[in-house]
Amino acid sequence: MKEVEILPAAKALILEVGNWIKTQRQDFAKEHIEEKGLNNLVSYVDKTAEIKLVAGLKQILPGSAFLTEEGTVAHQENNEWEWIIDPLDGTTNFVHGIPYYCVSVALAHHGEFSMGIIYEPNLNEFFHAIAGQGAYLNGQAIRVSDNPSLASSVVATGFPHRSFEKMEEYIKSLDYFFRNTRSLRRIGAAALDLAYVACGRMDGFYELKLMPWDIAAGTLIVREAGGIATDFSGSHDLMYQNQILAGNPGVYKEMKTVLDRYFI
């Protein structure tokens, strides 16, 4: 299985890039920040990290295609193997010195997620999954929580801060979850939110206006950890749906019932 063969090299590369990102935080200054759009930040750190990842992954899997946040290479359609890369998920956290960000890399085979890697350098936590082989944190198998109900759950989300056309519906859903969960969390890196669902730290997660690189790796890791990840309508083909709902099976079901009221 090709994913098993290339995992060690991919892991070494991603660890190297993630740790390089962490070192850049020490001397990072606000003049390094650029805005790609409203509240959409980028810096030389994102761009350089992506260049490093693309260069390394090209050597690990020659001939593969890339879908990348910062556009280091042009997106190619209909390639057998495709890397989906967010070099720095949680850029706003990074530029403000908040230690909650990660590198997120997924590999798709004929359009299906086949490997997912998320590396959080501040805690040195390496999450990965290969399709059909389970999910792992630093080499130890992980599972979604067994929390049976939304009422006793911690649910993560991401606030709309770039596009506001669904704000009314979103506020209504937030109001419900405020009143009917143990607590809500908005920490600011969707890939890590998904990783935390996969290892049981959070019971569910939902967010709008996400891109494929935000959710590709985390989606596979959640599914391999025994969870469910779909778009709000329940479709498992969610790469280009710009939204995600994920959780352990029971909490996912309750959350979907709530979201159906406001978004379907």
pLDDT at 38: 42
pLDDT at 41: 52
Helices (H), the chain: 2-24, 44-60, 91-95, 167-180, 190-198, 212-224, 249-263
CA 112 and chain centroid, separation = 16
Show the low-confidence residues of the chain (pLDDT under 50): 37-40
The half-sphere exposure of 252 on its side-chain side, counting CA atoms within 13 A, is: 23
Closest CA to 153 of 186, 127, 185: 185
Helix 249-263 to helix 167-180 angle (10° resolution) is 140
What does the CA dihedral 258, 261, 262, 264 come to, rounded to 10 degrees? Answer: 110
pLDDT tens digits, one per residue of 16-44: 999 999 988 887 756 666 665 444 456 78
C-beta separation of 21 from 86 below 8 A: no
57-64: Cβ within 8 A, 24+ apart: 57/10, 57/13, 57/83, 57/85, 57/105, 60/6, 60/9, 60/10, 60/13, 61/2, 61/6, 61/107, 64/107
